[in-house]
Structure 1
């Protein structure tokens, strides 16, 4: 039996969403973007969370920051402590202070901005007592030591090697305290060996489901919200006792983001 646990999420409405620059392989500024459709898809995701019993706070979108909808990149929050992102790309750097100020004003006094490039929960995913940490395209490997010192939990560094999966949360998702799903092809041989050692019973996603951004998902321990086109992954999750819930975030995928990218988990101190 899988047990759901209510979560506390932070999201940012894609009021200013657009693709006007390219900082990952999914972004093509020549392709038109339907911002009202992006907003409608985002509202549906928020509704799914509320219907599951989760708490959803929102941060005000800032004009000129079209990627601010991807709240997961804003920080990593564990046990009430928040390590705020330091973005690699100039186009996104102003998002860090916006998330810093929201966290400061909403009950997270133990926070600081990362000294090294660190793109929040895009590259940092708590699983049990570990903090899985991605590098290779965005977050600086030196940020792994910084996160370990700040959170006081062991950090497991994982090397990403496929530019289509430029953040850890595009290639791996935490399903519960002991279980992950991941796409082996996104990782270096050594990192694949680490994942096999730590999670021998992991769900391994196919290339097709990974390309549908199926691993950019959220889980409450039972319900897994994921892109609706990742049908093979949904079947695997169902076989493992999870309840997959497919959503359509196709408009946001034009910027290389989906369910998890839109969702920052606010883990309070226990």
Structure 2
């Protein structure tokens, strides 16, 4: 039996852009017509869910919570690998209310057998989930962002909890505040990334780990369209509306795109990857095979 990827999403019924904790957030644009913006957000979220399901994925959807608009970005809820979840600790007070909600979600998932274990971060360590800890299946390690949101100290915690190599990448700008906004490992070993988001040392690390022929560099326009914040399923990539230049790059590299208009969520600084959390990711292929049988 072929494994069907399992993703977590959040109902967008309480989504709003009412504060600004990253430079992309545009509360004034939302306030201009909140009803139309919310309707568009509901449509966009539904289309993303349908796109994932159309590619064979399963989607678990949790309910919205009034006053926690960024709950729609569950990529930041936790790191999940091999059935083990490490729930996030958020740096900004505006998102800290999500921690208890997501913990309840993971407890329910554990009761249902969808995850096996929940491990807590040490006190004082900020780590904002899979948005800053991206599993590279081809290389069998985590790429872990740190700087604007997640603490450098989180790297050693991730290594200890999951028993996997962790390659740290320092982010250079609060415009690309999570790693998932500027870095996306793709099936087959290629990596889509935005070089300007990284410090010189982080760029050197990427280039040392990923040969030039496997690196796909996003332009300013492509990164600003939140196209690097994508969900990869084999040779298919689900992302926000992409410039023609990026479509050509990815087609030339052998990938097919499914585009979704995610502009309501880009008003808050997130897109396809931010809006999903993979729950069934395995560190070794044989584990995935066993899970699918």
After TM superposition, the score normalised by the length of structure 2 is 0.88
> Deviation string for 1:199-242 (max 9, x for gaps)?
11211111110111110001012110111134322221111111
Measured in 1, the distance between the counterparts of 2:172 and 2:162 equals 26
**Equivalent residue runs for 1:70-89 within 5 Å:** 70-89=73-92
Of structures 1 and 2, the larger Rg is shown by 2
Measured in 2, the distance between the counterparts of 1:177 and 1:15 equals 37
Deviation at 1:193, TM superposition (A): 0.8
Q: Kindly indicate whether the alpha-carbon contact (under 8 Å) linking 1:223 and 1:245 is maintained by their aligned counterparts in 2.
A: yes
Query: Which region of structure 1 is more displaced relative to structure 2, 15-24 or 231-240?
Result: 231-240
Measured in 2, the distance between the counterparts of 1:268 and 1:193 equals 28
**Cα pair distance change 1:177/1:267, threshold 3 Å:** farther
Specify the SS of the correspondent of 1:244. Answer: strand
1:100 is aligned, of 94, 100, 103, to 103
2:182 is aligned, of 165, 171, 180, to 171
Task: Work out whether 1:113 is the aligned partner of 2:104.
Answer: no
Deviation at 1:5, TM superposition (A): 6.5
Q: Kindly indicate whether the alpha-carbon contact (under 8 Å) linking 1:86 and 1:113 is maintained by their aligned counterparts in 2.
A: no
Q: Kindly indicate whether the alpha-carbon contact (under 8 Å) linking 2:74 and 2:274 is maintained by their aligned counterparts in 1.
A: yes
After superposition, the CA RMSD in angstroms is 1.5
**Equivalent residue runs for 1:1-270 within 5 Å:** 6-32=4-30, 33=34, 34-106=37-109, 107=113, 108-115=115-122, 116-128=125-137, 129-176=140-187, 178-200=189-211, 201-267=214-280, 270=287
Measured in 2, the distance between the counterparts of 1:87 and 1:229 equals 30
Q: Kindly indicate whether the alpha-carbon contact (under 8 Å) linking 1:219 and 1:225 is maintained by their aligned counterparts in 2.
A: yes
Specify the SS of the correspondent of 2:130. Answer: helix
**Cα pair distance change 1:177/1:60, threshold 3 Å:** farther
Query: Which region of structure 1 is more displaced relative to structure 2, 21-30 or 104-113?
Result: 104-113
Measured in 2, the distance between the counterparts of 1:164 and 1:230 equals 20
Measured in 2, the distance between the counterparts of 1:15 and 1:40 equals 11
- Structure with greater proportional helix content: 2
Q: Kindly indicate whether the alpha-carbon contact (under 8 Å) linking 2:9 and 2:275 is maintained by their aligned counterparts in 1.
A: yes
> Deviation string for 1:81-127 (max 9, x for gaps)?
10101011111112122122212211324112322111101111000
Specify the SS of the correspondent of 2:24. Answer: coil
Q: Kindly indicate whether the alpha-carbon contact (under 8 Å) linking 2:119 and 2:161 is maintained by their aligned counterparts in 1.
A: no
After TM superposition, the score normalised by the length of structure 1 is 0.95
Q: Which runs of 4+ in 1 moved over 4 A?
A: none
Q: Kindly indicate whether the alpha-carbon contact (under 8 Å) linking 1:27 and 1:255 is maintained by their aligned counterparts in 2.
A: yes
Specify the SS of the correspondent of 2:189. Answer: coil
